[in-house]
């Protein structure tokens, strides 16, 4: 047997082993858990309208059935990209320490919002003021963005000033075998419940924005400001989906588990 044939056979065997390992590891998972294990699956789910952040707590097969999708076809695409990413340097957020993950979310996703929300606001106001009567969907888009911005502006400080500092304190105390302190909010389930609720509100708004803009597709008569507005909204949507996924499917469940360990000290 030639060297190339042996090489090809070894590659085939390696991919087959990876495939079987992934099949075993992913069996019976919810969509949020699949993206947690392989973030690249998010792209496939997004293109098929599968909500993996706010709606990530649903079994893969159930989601496909509810959307009339061929679960085998979707699964094959997820499987292929999982095999590919097995040998890449994709960030493994699930392996991050909790305090580091909290800092990552603040420094990457919160900072993105602080920078981009005012820019999106500028173009939403400008386009609505100039073309609000010309394009039927703009009045609703304007109201939706107002609600989304208000939700986010009130949401971020709660994480930065209440939940995340306590997470860091828990991590520090556990590492140093320090006696646990009692936060004013009782158990972490209380602020996390509020965060989940606000994520749901944001997710509902994003879903409606996609509907009325046809996934941020500009009308033929749209001016450049109109194009920029939709492009910025699309980027905001993409970042928020990743942001909410990291919290709902990785950070929050681990915080709840950590608190149990923390209180057991």
pTM of structure: 0.71
What total number of domains does the chain contain? 2
Nearest to 155 by CA among 189, 185, 188, 114: 114
Nearest to 185 by CA among 167, 203, 205, 210: 167
- For residues 156 and 257, state if they share a domain: yes
Residue of 170 and 16 predicted with greater confidence: 170
- For residues 112 and 51, state if they share a domain: no
pLDDT digits (tens, 9 = 90+) for 147-183: 999 999 999 999 999 999 998 988 888 888 887 777 7
pLDDT of 3 strictly over 60: no
Q: What span, in angstroms and rounded, lies between the C-alpha atoms of 75 and 137?
A: 35
Residue 197 pLDDT grade (very low, low, confident, very high; cuts 50, 70, 90): very high
- For residues 176 and 237, state if they share a domain: yes
Residue of 263 and 159 predicted with greater confidence: 159
Final residue of a structural domain among 90, 116, 149: 90
- For residues 78 and 108, state if they share a domain: no
pLDDT of 242 strictly over 60: yes
Residue 19 pLDDT grade (very low, low, confident, very high; cuts 50, 70, 90): very low
Query: Percent of the chain having pLDDT more than 70?
Result: 85
Q: What span, in angstroms and rounded, lies between the C-alpha atoms of 110 and 208?
A: 22
Q: Which residue has the tokens 């969907």?
A: 137
Final residue of a structural domain among 90, 118, 145: 90
Query: What is the pLDDT at residue 15?
Result: 47
Q: Mind giving me the DSSP string for the chain?
A: --HHHHHHHHHHHHHHHHHHHHHHHHTT-BHHHHHHH-TTHHHHHHHTT---STTTTSBHHHHHHHTT--HHHHHHHHHHHHHHHTTS----GGGS-HHHHHHHIIIIIIHHHHHHHHHHHHHHHHHHHHHTTTSTTHHHHHHHHHHHHHHHHHHHHHIIIIIHHHHHHHHHHHHTTPPPP--TTSSTHHHHHHHHHHHHHHHHHHHHHHHHHTTTPPPTT--HHHHHHHHHHHHHHHHHHHHHHIIIIIIHHHHHHHHHHHHT-
User: Which structural domain, as residue segments, surrounds residue 173?
Assistant: 94-263
The mean pLDDT of the chain is 83
Average pLDDT over residues 223-238: 92
- For residues 134 and 49, state if they share a domain: no
- For residues 105 and 172, state if they share a domain: yes
Query: What is the pLDDT at residue 262?
Result: 74
Nearest to 234 by CA among 217, 251, 255: 217
pLDDT digits (tens, 9 = 90+) for 106-120: 999 999 999 999 999
pLDDT of 9 strictly over 50: no
- For residues 86 and 98, state if they share a domain: no
- Asked if residue 181 lies in contact with residue 169, where contact means CB atoms within 8 angstroms, the answer is yes
């Amino acid at each position: 047997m030639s060297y190339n044939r042996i090489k090809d056979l070894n590659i085939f065997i390696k991919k087959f082993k990876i495939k079987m390992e992934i099949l075993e590891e992913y069996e019976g998972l919810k969509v949020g858990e699949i993206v947690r294990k392989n973030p690249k699956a998010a792209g496939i789910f997004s293109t098929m309208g599968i909500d993996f952040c706010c709606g990530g707590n649903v079994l893969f097969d159930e989601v496909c059935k509810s959307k009339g999708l061929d679960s085998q076809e979707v699964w094959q695409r997820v499987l292929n990209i999982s095999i590919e990413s097995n040998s890449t340097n994709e960030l493994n957020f699930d392996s991050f320490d909790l305090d580091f993950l909290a800092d990552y979310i603040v420094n990457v996703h919160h900072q993105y919002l602080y920078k981009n929300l005012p820019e999106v606001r500028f173009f939403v106001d400008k386009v609505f003021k100039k073309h609000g009567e010309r394009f039927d969907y703009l009045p609703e888009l304007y109201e939706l963005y107002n609600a989304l911005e208000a939700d986010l502006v009130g949401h971020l400080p709660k994480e930065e000033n209440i939940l995340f500092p306590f997470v860091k304190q828990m991590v520090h105390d556990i590492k140093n075998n320090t006696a646990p302190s009692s936060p004013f909010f009782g158990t972490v389930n209380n602020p996390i419940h509020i965060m989940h609720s606000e994520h749901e509100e944001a997710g509902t708004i994003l879903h409606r924005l996609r509907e009325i803009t046809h996934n941020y597709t500009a009308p033929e008569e749209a001016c450049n400001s109109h194009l920029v507005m939709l492009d910025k909204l699309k980027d905001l949507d993409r970042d928020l989906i990743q942001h909410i996924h990291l919290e709902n499917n990785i950070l929050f469940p681990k915080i709840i588990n950590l608190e149990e360990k923390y209180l057991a000290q």
